[in-house]
Amino acid sequence: MPKKERKRLQVVISEQQDALLTKTAYELSSPERLISKSEVVRLAIEKIAREMDEDPQLDEFRALLDGDDFHYD
């Protein structure tokens, strides 16, 4: 899928979320291919969208997003 040039979104994330992005990018990387944190974010967006198409879990997502301190468990 060709990448479209778009204005980048500047999203503030916590240090914990940044650490998770770094860890995930590292785990997905291989000696042949280094995966960036931006690629992890794009993958996550696509995965969430696909999951919502297959089995909408809107209440669960809303509950996660409504929390004051959104974090990965």
pLDDT value of residue 54: 82
Give the chain's domain count: 1
Residue that has been written with the tokens 């919502």 in this structure: 52
Q: Which domain holds residue 51?
A: 37-68
Q: Tell me what pLDDT residue 38 has.
A: 92
Burial of 32 (0-12, 13-18, 19+ CB in 10 A): exposed
Q: What is the pLDDT of residue 1?
A: 54
Q: What is the pLDDT of residue 8?
A: 73
pLDDT on residue 24: 96
pLDDT along the chain (73 residues), means of 10: 68 91 96 95 90 79 72 52
